Structure 1
Amino acid sequence: MAQVNDDEPDWSRWRRPRPTARQRRNDAWVALGVMAGALFTIVVVNSMGALAFGTAPSLGEQLLWGAAVTLPLVVRRRFPLVVLFAVGALFILAQAHQIGDNFVPSLALFLAIYSVGAWERSRVVARWARVGVIVAMFCWLGVALAALLLDPGQFPAVGGPLDPVLSAVLYNLGFNLMFFLSAYFFGEMAWLAARREAELEYRADQLRRSQEENTRGALVSERVRIARDLHDVVAHHVSVMGIQAGAARRVLDTDIDLARTALDTVETTARTAIGELRGLLGVLRAEPVDRDRAAGSDGAEHVASPGLDQLPELVERAASPELAATFAVFGEPYRVSEGVALSVYRVVQEALTNAVKHAAARTVEVRLRYLGTGIEVDVTDDGRGPSGPGREPGSGLGLLGMRERVAVHGGELETGPRRDAGYRVRARFPHPAGSAER
């Protein structure tokens, strides 16, 4: 079928599929039924003496003509044009020989015209073939009516208001006009119904594919979100615990107080990590309705959801004897959405993780700025940079997760080495008009 564009077929050029094996079998049974009806009717009308044309050939010849007119219907859906022309020609020849029955042959002609309208794949051919056959039938009717006009005396005297010959002409013209228009109309309707059914099946298939793609996209997004949250929670807290445990081990024999402080930080960090993991797992295990209540529009969990107020504590936990971490706020603070607050927290958390785990930094500075256009967070360190010598390679998931979190809110993320030394992570989160409460 021709395509209007890459997605939508041109339904005006739709072609009906070939008949199925079951439909071909049904055609055979219909043809046999019509043939049996034709033979039975010929026998009955001959037995009654109610012959359609007053006289008729022998019964055997009539039976042969009845079988010949109806037999082509066996392949009416496979070869509709051939059947139409064959039945039309045999119909005229049968009438010319004045067989006793005219009803069943007319039924066969009706089915042939209908089948072309319903099954011929070329609509132009279907239209003109039917018109041609109908015109031919009216021409044949005209021949019969002309013979009637030449012999008007065959009509007995009646009491109707119209002339008998005129009445016969009007009756035959009206009946045949209704007969052929009905065959044409019902065939056309059958073809249109089949096209609508094909269009509905196409739309249903497109809808199913779209739903499957949406489902796959939702599953991928959910996996990415879970992986991002797990990475943020686990990587940061484990890195901090590792640094603090290492510091405690190194000063255990020389500075008990400092070692105790480091171990307290390890314990606090572990508890915080467990709390955040429980909150995350609680959202994942919840039913869909409960999950919607426990999650924000960006998928951020509301259970144990950290925000801007926890940034000082986050930076403080990252500090150790080997890493000096500072936090500063600039501008007049105002409220932001929970989703933005969580994303800012996660960006800072990932940046600190990178500074602790990968950059071998000595100092890290976190600056939170409240601007008129939104909120900005800036994390800088003096480490080796993303590819410095001795730097432990990372998976790259952290930077990807930060970009995804910032992109959700329409923000911007800048990452890269500083001019002098170290690395910088800067994220800007614009707030919608009127969303900030000053």
Structure 2
Amino acid sequence: MHSEPDDWRRPGPTAKQQRADLVVGVAVAAVALLNLTLARSAGVYSMGAPPSLPEQTFWAVLVTLPLAWRRRRPEQVALIISVGFILGQVRAAPEQQLTSGALFAAIYTLGAWGRDHRRSAWIRGAIIGAMFLWLGVHYVVELPQLSVSAFTDASGPVSPILAVAVNGVLLNLLIFGFAYFFGEIAWIGARRQHLLEVQAEQLRASQAEARERAVVGERVRIARELHDVVAHHVSVMGVQASAGRRVLDKDPGKAKTALASVEQSARTAVDELRRMLNLLRAGDGGRETAGAGLDRLDDLLAGAREAGLRTSLGVYGDVVELPESLSQAGYRIVQEAVTNTIKHAGATALDVRIRYLAGELEVDVADDGHGAVDAGGAAGGGLGLIGMRERVAAHDGVLETGSRGGGGFRVRARFPLARTAVGA
């Protein structure tokens, strides 16, 4: 879970980074002691008479060694180093180079790694303010003691003492300004990296969700196809087998015809299942079962006639070339309606009408049964109606199902036609 950028807190350093800081802190402290030894050997005491050697060593170590914990405890380290730096100068500790660098690193690290960025900004501002306050006090105390004769080589238009003061202020402004600025840049960079990682994680989650939805959609599509292909032919085969059983003793000829129809329906079902499985193996998840379209309604109704229904097919309006998916959807609507009529309606006649209207395709299937399809099939919320609704909704169409006023049941689907199809 990701927070707002202004409330983000940078995570602490890794174990590897902590080990690196420990090495750096110890190395800087060692170099500071070496520099102290060289300064004492050369007699360079820029702050005046120095304290004893143990005290000089103490101030050098106090200001540099805390860098070993700079990213683990940035606030405490910055405060310790800044206080030690000022007190060391008050006591005229001769080591200035490494301790100045340690102060710069502490202010930078506090800006880059402070857990609470707003509080880190206040602490850095307070440290920098304290440094300039100390600088002002130092100038007030020390500069009046200097005489112009001490600057024998001075030749500029500005007073030497004023030049020393201004130069010191500008130099410290640059040092502290860079420490503050680079710390901000590092923190902003870390925050942006965090936001990129969060966005990448969200993108991965979104992609995983999309893949899951695609898998569910594919399963639904396969289930719908299996239902349409198997349920229709098995229903027809059941009716034909029942008819054959009834006339087997009385009229062997009719029984033979019924069994032949069962055989043909079984072969057709197997062929359609084979075509669908071949498409699935090929990875074509966007296509319906091959060979299903409104141009094959005659074959579909022939099977209904063999099951004992009187059928009629009417096509009205100017026939236009339909997209393959729309033609397949219309075919499946008729197929499911025929299946439900055979299984549930107790009908004797079936009327199928295909209307090509202005900007719309209408598929109308009606029977003269007792209207009880609701109890077992389409209107009852079974898989048949679910499949119909899914197909119609996929093409932004409207599905109507229900009993007819004069008896029987009707299924009517309306699909919008694109202008390109209407104008074909």
Report if TM-score (shorter chain) is over 0.5. yes
1:335-382: CA deviation from partner (whole Å, max 9, x where unpaired) = 221111100100111111111123333333222222223111122230
Select which of 223, 237, 241 maps to 2:233.
237
Matching residue's letter, 2:288: A
- Shift in Å at residue 204 of structure 1? 0.3
Which ranges in structure 2 are unaligned for 5 or more consecutive residues? none
Aligned to 1:270: 266
- After TM superposition, the score normalised by the length of structure 2 is 0.90
- After TM superposition, the score normalised by the length of structure 1 is 0.88
Select which of 336, 354, 370 maps to 2:322.
336
The 2-side partners of 1:321 and 1:235 are apart by 14
Identical positions, percent: 46
Select which of 116, 119, 124 maps to 1:130.
124
The 2-side partners of 1:218 and 1:203 are apart by 22
State which drifts further: 30-39 or 248-257. Answer: 248-257
Matching residue's letter, 1:269: S
1:93-133: CA deviation from partner (whole Å, max 9, x where unpaired) = 10111112101111121122112211223333222322222
Match status 1:11 vs 2:5: yes
Matching residue's letter, 1:424: R
The 1-side partners of 2:245 and 2:170 are apart by 110
Match status 1:259 vs 2:255: yes
1:47-66: CA deviation from partner (whole Å, max 9, x where unpaired) = 23233335322222111111
Matching residue's letter, 1:264: A
Asked whether the 8 Å contact 1:385–1:421 carries over to 2, the reply is: no
The 1-side partners of 2:379 and 2:397 are apart by 27
Select which of 192, 201, 204 maps to 1:205.
201
Which ranges in structure 1 are unaligned for 5 or more consecutive residues? 2-7
Select which of 97, 116, 120 maps to 2:91.
97
SS in 1 for 2:419: coil
Aligned to 1:5: none
State which drifts further: 62-71 or 330-339. Answer: 330-339
Distance 1:184 1:321, change over 3 A: closer
Select which of 25, 29, 39 maps to 1:31.
25
- Shift in Å at residue 9 of structure 1? 4.5
Select which of 215, 218, 225 maps to 1:222.
218
Match status 1:435 vs 2:385: no
Aligned to 2:80: 86
Asked whether the 8 Å contact 1:415–1:425 carries over to 2, the reply is: yes
SS in 2 for 1:130: helix
Asked whether the 8 Å contact 1:347–1:402 carries over to 2, the reply is: yes
State which drifts further: 123-132 or 320-329. Answer: 320-329
SS in 1 for 2:373: coil
The 2-side partners of 1:34 and 1:89 are apart by 18
Select which of 375, 399, 415 maps to 1:413.
399
Match status 1:177 vs 2:163: no
Asked whether the 8 Å contact 1:362–1:383 carries over to 2, the reply is: no
Matching residue's letter, 2:313: F
State which drifts further: 309-318 or 11-20. Answer: 11-20
The 1-side partners of 2:9 and 2:339 are apart by 63
Aligned to 1:423: 409
Matching residue's letter, 1:411: G
Aligned to 1:363: 349
The 2-side partners of 1:393 and 1:358 are apart by 11
Aligned to 2:111: 117
Select which of 347, 362, 372 maps to 1:385.
372
Matching residue's letter, 1:106: S
Distance 1:305 1:420, change over 3 A: same
The 1-side partners of 2:377 and 2:389 are apart by 22
The 1-side partners of 2:404 and 2:251 are apart by 35
Moved over 4 A (4+): 390-395
Matching residue's letter, 2:204: R
The 1-side partners of 2:149 and 2:331 are apart by 107
Asked whether the 8 Å contact 2:360–2:416 carries over to 1, the reply is: yes
- Shift in Å at residue 166 of structure 1? 3.7
Distance 1:129 1:254, change over 3 A: same
SS in 2 for 1:402: helix
The 1-side partners of 2:189 and 2:223 are apart by 50
Matching residue's letter, 1:155: A
Asked whether the 8 Å contact 2:377–2:385 carries over to 1, the reply is: no
- Shift in Å at residue 18 of structure 1? 3.5
The 1-side partners of 2:346 and 2:56 are apart by 107
- Shift in Å at residue 159 of structure 1? 5.8
Match status 1:399 vs 2:385: yes
Asked whether the 8 Å contact 2:231–2:339 carries over to 1, the reply is: yes
Match status 1:248 vs 2:213: no
The 2-side partners of 1:21 and 1:358 are apart by 73
Matching residue's letter, 2:210: N
The 1-side partners of 2:351 and 2:301 are apart by 9
- The RMSD of aligned alpha carbons is 2.6
Match status 1:148 vs 2:143: yes
Matching residue's letter, 1:158: D
Asked whether the 8 Å contact 2:245–2:255 carries over to 1, the reply is: yes
The 2-side partners of 1:179 and 1:159 are apart by 26
The 2-side partners of 1:73 and 1:129 are apart by 17
The 1-side partners of 2:113 and 2:245 are apart by 87
- Shift in Å at residue 420 of structure 1? 4.5
1:208-256: CA deviation from partner (whole Å, max 9, x where unpaired) = 0110011001111111111111111111111112222222232233334
Matching residue's letter, 1:364: L
Aligned to 1:55: 49
